């Protein structure tokens, strides 16, 4: 267990980066914070804003509120980290849902907190559960579900998800349905499980299942994971990354640099 056994730090201070604010925490601190809250019987919600989420938050108050009202918001995306540094605020680094699904599951296995996997393509939650249990043999997976496309428009499907979660009674729920769909669903589910932590984790369940390849570590550390994903899924991601996100990232970095220069 090592790092996850340490006493949690109740560090919730945020720093503003463009249209959002994020917690300047390490991954270890995030896990410690969640464990401490779970021991107190307190639930919460984690959001991992990246450039795409920042861009959406800059235009849509409802999207911005989904980030601002989360209990923890940690930067997923090196441009967000770089922008903070240009403003003179040093974020420890990026923290992705794809990383948290492993580190929080490690802590959950140690403390016997049941987890639930919600999202990913058909079959992915089961395979992700097997991969997580294989790495952390003490892990309790209390259930999994892969909602069909368009589930959010079907009241019966949302009710079924809610019923399944209540029956499973997990302490950590990984919701991998893409932003903002996953955050909107989490908001409707939290009141049923006030003592659970919900993690909006994007493609993390698919990554853990091996259904979608993840970039090598060196590319992730260099801020090039987007390039790997673009090469893997050009048809789906080309417009998002090249037309929408890349120009916004350049504007965000430029504005932050100018703000620091003239402040």
The predicted pLDDT at position 8 comes to 42
Q: Cβ atoms within 10 A of the Cβ of 69, count?
A: 12
Is 49 in contact with 23 (CB distance < 8 Å)? Answer: no
Render pLDDT for 163-211 as a digit per residue (tens, 0 to 9). 999 999 999 999 999 999 999 999 999 999 999 999 999 999 999 999 9
CB-side neighbour CA atoms (13 Å) of 74: 25
Query: Given phi > 0 = left and psi -120 to 50 = alpha, else beta, which region is 169?
Result: left
Report domain extents, the chain: 2-209, 217-261
Q: Cβ atoms within 10 A of the Cβ of 154, count?
A: 12
Distances in Å between the Cα of 20 and the Cα atoms of 48, 54, 234 are 11, 7, 28
Render pLDDT for 240-250 as a digit per residue (tens, 0 to 9). 999 999 999 99
Output the pTM of the full model: 0.91
3-state class percentages of the chain: helix first, strand second, coil last, to nearest 5: 55, 10, 35
Q: Is CATH 3.40.50.10700 the right assignment for the domain spanning 2-209?
A: yes
């Amino acid at each position: 267990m090592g790092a996850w056994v340490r006493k949690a730090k109740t560090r919730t201070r945020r720093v503003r980066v463009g249209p959002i604010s994020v917690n300047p925490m390490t991954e270890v601190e995030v896990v410690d914070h969640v464990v401490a809250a779970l021991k107190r019987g307190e639930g919460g919600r984690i959001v991992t804003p990246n450039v795409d989420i920042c861009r959406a938050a800059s235009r849509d108050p409802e999207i911005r509120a989904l980030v601002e009202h989360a209990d923890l918001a940690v930067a997923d995306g090196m441009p967000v980290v770089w922008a903070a540094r240009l403003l003179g605020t040093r974020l420890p680094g990026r923290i992705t849902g794809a990383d948290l699904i492993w580190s929080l599951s490690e802590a959950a296995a140690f403390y016997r907190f049941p987890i639930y996997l919600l999202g990913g393509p058909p079959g992915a939650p089961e395979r992700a559960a097997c991969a997580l249990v294989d790495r952390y043999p003490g892990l309790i997976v209390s259930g999994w579900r892969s909602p069909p496309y368009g589930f959010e428009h079907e009241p019966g499907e949302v009710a079924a998800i809610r019923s399944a979660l209540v029956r499973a009674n997990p302490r950590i729920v990984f919701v991998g349905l893409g932003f903002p769909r996953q955050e909107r669903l989490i908001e409707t589910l939290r009141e049923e499980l006030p003592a659970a932590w919900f993690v909006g984790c994007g493609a993390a369940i698919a990554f853990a299942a091996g259904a979608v390849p993840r970039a090598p570590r060196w590319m992730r550390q260099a801020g090039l994971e987007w390039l790997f994903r673009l090469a893997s899924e050009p048809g789906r991601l080309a417009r998002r990354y090249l037309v929408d996100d890349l120009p916004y990232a350049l504007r965000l970095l430029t504005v932050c640099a100018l703000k620091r220069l003239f402040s």
